[in-house]
Amino acid sequence: MQISRRTLMLGLAAAPLAGCADAYLGPEVGIGLDEGNFGNPSAHNLLVQTGQLPFAVNLAERFNAEVPTMVNFAFDSARLDSAARTTLTRQAHWINQFPEVTFRVFGHTDLVGSARYNQALGMRRARTVVSYLVRAGVSRSRLEAVVSQGQTQPLIQTTNRERQNRRTVTEVSGFLQSHPMILNGQYAMIIHRDYIASAEPPRPF
Q: 41-47 — which CB contacts under 8 Å span 24+ positions?
A: 41/14, 41/15, 41/16, 43/14, 43/173, 43/174, 44/12, 44/13, 44/14, 44/15, 45/15, 46/174, 46/177, 47/12, 47/13, 47/174, 47/175
CA–CA dist 112, 74 (Å, integer): 13
What order do you get walking across the sheet with 101-108 strand by strand?
Answer: 70-72, 167-175, 101-108, 143-150
- Under a CB-based contact definition with an 8 Å cutoff, are residues 176 and 182 in contact? yes
Query: Which H or E element spans position 111?
Result: none
Cα 117 → chain centroid: 21
Instruction: Tell me the pLDDT of the chain (205 aa) as tens digits.
Output: 545 555 555 556 543 333 333 333 334 333 344 444 445 555 555 554 455 666 777 788 888 999 999 999 999 999 999 999 999 999 999 999 888 789 999 999 999 999 999 999 999 999 999 999 999 999 998 897 788 999 999 999 999 999 999 999 999 987 765 454 544 556 556 655 554 444 556 565 5
CATH class of the structural domain 5-12+31-191: alpha beta
Amino acid of residue 19: G
